[in-house]
Amino acid sequence: MTGKNRVWATAAFAGVIAVASVTVSNAYHQQLLTIIGIHTLLALGLNMLMGYAGQISLGHAAFYGLGAYGTGILTTHYGWSPWAAFPVVLTAAGWLAYVIGRPTLKLSGYYLAMGTLGLGIIAHVIFREWDSMTGGASGMVGIPPLQVGGTVLSLGRSGMILVWVTVLTAFFLCSRLVDSRIGRALRALGDSQGAAAACGIDTGRLKAVIFSFSAVLAALAGFLYAHLVGFISPSSFDFLMSIRMVTMVVIGGMASIWGSLFGASVITMLPEWLHVFSDYEMTVYGLVLMVVMIFLPQGLTRGMLDAVERVRREG
C-alpha cells in the first residue's frame, strides 16, 4: 500500500470509528468492539515484531499482563492516579523488553520460540503466585476507571471511543514507522538477517528495539483493559492468550498493518460463533492456523485482495 493509499485508508478508518461511536448503542456490541480494539493493539505490536522483523514470540501475553497488573498495583495498592501510572507502566514494559530482548533475540527459530515461551510462563506464575500484590488466582478487583475532565470512561460507549482512538493513533504511528528508514531496515531483517548485517544494519539492536516497541503496545492494551474492565486475573494473560495473539497475526496476514485489525476481529468473535467448541479452544486455533498457512499463507486479508483482483481481471 502506497503512502497516499495509507492516508486515505486511515481517513476512512477514522470515519468508520466516528460513525460507530454514534450508531452502536447496544451495550453488548459496545463491549465487543472495545475488546476487539484492545486485541487489535496486541496484534499490531506483535505483527511489527513477527511480520516485519521476522522474530517469533510465544510469550507476548507477559507484556499484556505487565501493563494490566502494573497499573492495577500502582492504583489500588499505592493510590496512584491511572494517568500517573500510565507512563510508568509503558516505560517499564519497554525497558524490560529491551533488556530481555538483547540476549533472547540472539536465538532463532525453535530456540527463540522456546525462549519467549519461557518468559510468558514466568510472568504468568508471578501473576498467579504473588498473592499480596496481584490477588493470586482469584484476580485483582477494584481497579479504578479512567476519567477525563470528570467524565468516567467505562466499558461502554466512552470506553469504546477511547480504545478505537488509541488504535487509530497506533495505526498512524506504525504506518509512519513502516514507511521510514527503520521500516526498510526491519523488512531487510525479516528477509535475511545476514544480508541486513552485511548492509551495515545493527541487527541485534534493531531486534531489541522493535521487541520493546511491540511490548509497549501490549502494555498499553493491558492498561486499557484493566481500567475499563476493572478486574484482571492471571487466566487473561496465560499461554493461550499468547497463542491467540500469534493466530491473530497469522490469520490477518504477516507484515500487514490492516491485517492486524482483521485477524483480531476474527479471533475475538470466533468464540461467539463457536460456543459448542469452547472446551476445545486450543484445538480450534490450531486447525485455523493450519488451514490458513496451507491455503492462504499470506493471511486472509491478502487472500481476499488477491481473489478480488482475480475476479476483476477475469471480468
- Tell me, letter by letter, the H, E, C secondary structure of 152-200: EECCCHHHHHHHHHHHHHHHHHHHHHHHCHHHHHHHHHHHCHHHHHHCC
Residue type at 242?
Answer: S
Q: How far apart are CA 102 and CA 46, in angstroms?
A: 17
First to last CA, the chain: 23
Cell numbers representing residue 128 in the block: 498467579
Closest by Cα among 213, 204, 184 to 108? 204
pLDDT recorded at residue 273? 66
pLDDT along the chain (315 residues), means of 10: 65 82 87 94 94 91 97 96 96 96 89 90 95 93 90 87 94 90 90 88 94 97 96 93 90 85 87 63 71 65 60 65
Would you say the C-alpha torsion 58, 59, 63, 68 has a positive or negative sign? positive
